Amino acid sequence: MGAWGTGLYDNDTTCDVRNTYMDFLQEQFSNQEVYEKTFEMYKDCIGDIDDEPLFWFALAETQWKVGRLMPEVKATALEWIEKEGGVLLWEDSPVGNSGWKKTLEKLKTTLEAEQRKEKKIRKPQVINHNLWNIGDVYAYQFHKEQSDKYGVHGEYVLMQKIGEEFHIPMYCDESYGSEKMRVHVFNKLFDHVPTLEDVKGLPLLPIGWYAAQCDLRMNMLMELYKKKDYPKKHLAFLGNTQISANKLFIKKDSPCFWSNFEGLCANSFLLWQGKKYEEIEEGVFRYTQGE
């Protein structure tokens, strides 16, 4: 399970559960059927000290938002909140520990609030997740409020499409799969719109956490959950160029949603300030030195 922040949906498990539940709901199943199908798909989470609380938190919060919170789901989620479920993920981070507890407090307040009216759910539009051509380079501008806390608001970062991959969500069959694009991000910030020439010689940015003796995640799949999440106004197309000579460590991973990209990317820049990493063998990068 990958986590890039202390928000409720700043980790793979809660994002996957939320989206699976909503996907089934959009297929016009009853709420009971959707619950049963979602539970069946994530039954391996049950009994896992890290993933089980995240499953119930995401399911309860999502059901509440659409006016379908089931009493047994609410009760189980509140039990896990009382036990501070998920806090073990942050046992080595005082800041993360505190942030996660605040997230649980907010979730408790939400679940104990008056249930929303049932929201009508329509079948989803077909979404194209594979938007760019291989080799395309874009400049993305940080623009959300959360980028202020990372000190990157208004800055630009370069990203490039390096491949395409048919991805099937965890616990789903092929009918839920789709072609997605894989991108990498370059490890430099710009205070102006860069040019295609600025890509030359730039190292890649490791995505997310780091640790000694662990292979680094140097790229990611991108998923567009809702069309409105695509940040078209904040992307500048710079052109198409040969993919960086840097070898890539590509592994099976959960996609990054465009709605979460800014937080994940900004946090990665913060994590890697002053840190060094190197390619220890073809395509494998490791963290080598601290500040």
Kindly report, residue by residue over 200-236, the tens digit of the pLDDT: 889 899 987 777 777 888 889 999 888 889 999 999 9
> In which residue are the tokens 């040019």 written?
195
Is residue 146 domain-shared with residue 285, that is, in the same domain?
yes
> What strand order describes the sheet that includes 156-167?
235-240, 136-141, 156-167, 178-190, 220-223, 256-257
Asked whether the beta carbons of 52 and 85 are under 8 A apart, the reply is yes
Is residue 99 domain-shared with residue 170, that is, in the same domain?
no
pLDDT at residue 146 greater than cutoff 70: yes
Reported as a pLDDT band with limits 50, 70 and 90, residue 160 is very high
Is residue 219 domain-shared with residue 264, that is, in the same domain?
yes
Give the per-residue pLDDT at 241: 92
Give the per-residue pLDDT at 169: 67
Reported as a pLDDT band with limits 50, 70 and 90, residue 18 is very high
Question: Does residue 158 sit within a domain?
Answer: yes
Which of 78, 112, 146 corresponds to the end of one domain? 112
pLDDT at residue 95 greater than cutoff 80: no
Give the per-residue pLDDT at 250: 53
Instruction: State the residue range of the domain holding 103.
Output: 12-112
Sign, CA torsion 122/123/125/129: positive
Is residue 142 domain-shared with residue 277, that is, in the same domain?
yes
The end-to-end CA distance of the chain, in Å, is 27
Give the per-residue pLDDT at 173: 58
Reported as a pLDDT band with limits 50, 70 and 90, residue 124 is low
Question: Does residue 149 sit within a domain?
Answer: yes
Is residue 97 domain-shared with residue 154, that is, in the same domain?
no
Tell me whether strands 256-257 and 284-289 are parallel, antiparallel or unpaired. unpaired
Average pLDDT over all residues of the chain: 87
Over residues 105-110, the mean pLDDT reads 95
Q: How far apart, in whole angstroms, are the C-alpha atoms of residue 135 and residue 124?
A: 30
pLDDT at residue 1 greater than cutoff 80: no
Reported as a pLDDT band with limits 50, 70 and 90, residue 171 is low
Question: How many CB atoms are closer than 10 A to CB 209?
Answer: 16
Give the per-residue pLDDT at 291: 47
Question: How many CB atoms are closer than 10 A to CB 257?
Answer: 17
Is residue 244 domain-shared with residue 146, that is, in the same domain?
yes
pLDDT at residue 52 greater than cutoff 70: yes
Question: Does residue 126 sit within a domain?
Answer: no
Is residue 159 domain-shared with residue 200, that is, in the same domain?
yes
Is residue 165 domain-shared with residue 58, that is, in the same domain?
no
pTM (2 d.p.): 0.59
CA distances from residue 92 to 52, 88, 103, 111, 178 in whole angstroms, order as listed: 20, 8, 18, 28, 37
Give the per-residue pLDDT at 2: 62
Q: How far apart, in whole angstroms, are the C-alpha atoms of residue 69 and residue 180?
A: 32
Q: How far apart, in whole angstroms, are the C-alpha atoms of residue 34 and residue 249?
A: 36
Is residue 175 domain-shared with residue 272, that is, in the same domain?
yes
**pLDDT tens readout for residues 242-285:** 886 545 545 567 788 999 999 999 999 988 988 888 888 776 88
pLDDT at residue 184 greater than cutoff 70: yes
Number of folded domains that form the chain: 2
Q: Provide the 8-state DSSP code for 212.
A: B
Q: 95: which 2 tokens?
A: 């800041």
Instruction: Give the total residue count for the chain.
Output: 291
Is residue 94 domain-shared with residue 183, that is, in the same domain?
no
Q: How far apart, in whole angstroms, are the C-alpha atoms of residue 29 and residue 199?
A: 48
Run of H or E including 188 = strand 178-190
Q: How far apart, in whole angstroms, are the C-alpha atoms of residue 286 and residue 280?
A: 7
Q: How far apart, in whole angstroms, are the C-alpha atoms of residue 203 and residue 194?
A: 15
Reported as a pLDDT band with limits 50, 70 and 90, residue 178 is confident
